[in-house]
Amino acid sequence: MDWQFHISAVQCLVTHDIIHSAGKKQIHQNATPIGGISEEGMHTRLTTIDIRLFATLSRFQPPDATHYPVEPSITVGELLSRMGVPLTEVKLIFINGVKGSPETALNGGERVGIFPPVGGG
């Protein structure tokens, strides 16, 4: 039996094969989700945020940033870590237009802006 979980917001697909052996269920993971959602997160209620990464961080922008799925109460730091964004490259974090920090918890529905250090001349 195959279970497929599809989250179109990040275009990821996780497939689990359930193998019955000796009366025990063993779960084998065939694919790892992209976008940083943990296996535990697949079994919890997800919500979405609007996340934007600017300038040199734009390379980490997810495909559908306007409806990016997150686990309730995830911190910005945990989110960035799961997305592969090095915190050393992050200078400013804005949550709904207000300065935030890596410790700021997200509950869903927020607009999140992530900026690197900016230089100019």
Q: Is the per-residue pLDDT at 43 higher than 70?
A: no
Contact present, 37 and 10 (Cβ < 8 Å): yes
Q: Tens of pLDDT along 97-110?
A: 999 999 999 999 99
Segments forming the whole domain that contains residue 88: 47-115
Q: Across residues 1-30, what is the average pLDDT?
A: 32
Domain presence at residue 120: no
Q: How would you write 21-79 as a 3-class SS string?
A: ECCEEEEEECCCCCCCCCHHHHCCCCEEEEEEECHHHHHHCCCCHHHEEECCCEEHHHH
**Model's pTM, two decimal places?**
0.64
In CATH, what number is assigned to the domain containing residue 91?
3.10.20.30
Domain presence at residue 11: yes
Domain presence at residue 39: no
